[in-house]
Amino acid sequence: MIISGLSLNTLAILVGSVAALRVVQSFLDLRRLLRSINYLPGYRTILGSTTILGNVLPQTPLLTLGHDHSWRLKHAPFAERGLDIISAVSFWPNVIGILWIADAQTIKDIVRSRGRFPKPLDLYASLSSFGKNIVVSEGDEWKRYRKIVAPMFSDKNNRLVWDATMQVMLELFDTVWEGKDEVVIDHCVDLTQPLALFVIGAAGFGRPISWKEDSVIPSGHQMTFRDALHATLQGIVIKVLVPTWAMGFTKGFRHTRLAFDELQRYLTEMIQERKGSERKEDDHDLLSRLLAANDDENLSEGEVKLSDSELIGNIFILMVAGHETTAHSLAFALALLALHPDKQEELYQHIKRVLPDGRIPTYDDMPSLGYSSAVFNEALRMFPPANSVPKSSAENTTFTVTDVDGMKRTVTVPQGIILTLDITGLHYNPKYWEDPYTFKPERFLGDWNRDAFLPFSAGYRACVGRKFSETEAAAVLTILISRYTVSIKDEPQFAGETHEQHKARILDARSVLTLAPTRLPLVFKRRT
């Protein structure tokens, strides 16, 4: 018993000593980090925003920032400190420092540098579930992917995007909405998600899907393509956090596992079917161009073809970018038009001036439909799909920024520190955007600061599918507003709301994989 007691006492002393040493080491690391950034003002928390727990918990002072603090706070943290670069330092489980940046010139310098500020790939693990791809890569591997992927997005494909979008919208009007003078949508995403999926199916993968066909599960599958893709995007976090052996424990886990298996099967079938078909010169969908660019005859000597896993990985990323983000951004654009009927009428009159005979617009009309594009850009500014973009510093360096008093300030940047490009903070920075909280599409019709607008990122890692999304959105907004008005659905349970409460509820959003509206109940009325 005495020996046992001594052993327990010894063990307790040993554990206590280790814990004390860990605390002392963390304190020294924390002091060293703060000194290395010259005590730049900002946040000090226990949990870091790069940890799982720090992302799951809501914002709690001194404990964690929460995963979506950038979206919730916008430019306020920078305004409070009078500087467009602030710090966020945490010390559990390890001491981590992050510089949050909402200064346009600094961000421009970062995104234009190939080697000094690489992407921290470990933070993008969830996007490599189906294979390596252009987003989750750096250096020579990224160059290899970009050389094959970038040529897919050509003017011919943009024209196909416009035509496919028009076909999808006209089919919606002529079938699903046929004979209805008023259409009520309980959540706008229920409209924009299938819409975006059908466009990416036709213009992206040469796989036209009709509004009626989408409900039919093909032979050999247990889910529709749409449901498999949607459930996969919703379950990415589960896939990353839950080990494979535990994916059968709950109904939700099993549904996610099935969705990933189904989508993998769909993508494999698409590739095999296209590889076995005769390629035509007028095939301008993205998959055809991707496979063509991956042919031996189109590769330089020494270049290695993409494996099927890499093909699937890149196709999946294109679907995330061409489906999820566009669907949500279109929903926000329609909500903003519904909340601002004067801007909606301005868009309608603009369309009538460009298309006085009421004909169906073509891709060649797009340059003249500037207000349609301006509405989409303003929605992207106010609701950027990605609230932030992480980078890391490969070397010791400095940034020079101007503070609120007009004084030049030098910010020290130690090697290895994480740099977060705060897109929301940038988009709501009054230095670049007058009345940043106000919906003003017209700000995109004149001169505006392109360095302060990053919904598609910028520099050498900018989104290769930007024009695809812009073309689809301009086509949707033009044809839809030319034929229908959009308004917010009246719901009795919210009758007592103030104007600000009403607006806040309609525009409420959450940041998961991308920024998504919580619920947008809209009413579409046919114009007479």
Instruction: Summarize the annotated binding site for heme as residue ranges.
Output: 463
Contact by Cβ (8 Å): 456, 466? yes
Contact by Cβ (8 Å): 307, 294? no
Which residues, including other chains, have CB under 8 Å from residue 236's CB and lie 6 or more apart? 126, 127, 129, 513
What is the CA 525 to chain-centroid distance, rounded?
30
Q: What is the DSSP string of 449-501?
A: -GGG--BTB-GGGS-TTHHHHHHHHHHHHHHHHHHEEEEEPP-GGGTT--HHH
Question: How far is the C-alpha of 70 from the C-alpha of 76, rounded, in Å?
Answer: 9
How far from each other are the two terminal CA atoms of the chain, in whole angstroms? 93
264-290 residues labelled b (16+ CB within 10 A) or e (exposed): bbbbeebbeebeeeeeeeebbbbbbbb
Q: What is the DSSP string of 154-192?
A: -HHHHHHHHHHHHHHHHHIIIIITTT-SEEEESSTHHHH
Residue 441's SS3 state is: helix
Whether the link from the prior residue into 218 is cis, omega within 30° of 0, is no
Binding residues: 463
Q: Which residue has the tokens 């559990």?
A: 92
How is residue 422 written in tokens?
A: 């705060």
DSSP tag of 427: H
As to burial, measured by CB atoms within 10 angstroms (0-12 exposed, 13-18 middle, 19+ buried), residue 409 is middle
Contact by Cβ (8 Å): 100, 77? yes
Half-sphere exposure of 469 (CA within 13 A, CB side): 24
Beta-strand pair 509-511/515-517: antiparallel
Half-sphere exposure of 276 (CA within 13 A, CB side): 6
At residue 333, what are phi and psi to the nearest 5 degrees?
Answer: -60, -45
Beta-strand pair 96-101/418-422: parallel
Q: Crossing angle for the helix pair 326-339 and 466-483, nearest 10 degrees?
A: 40
Q: Which residue has the tokens 């989508």?
A: 263
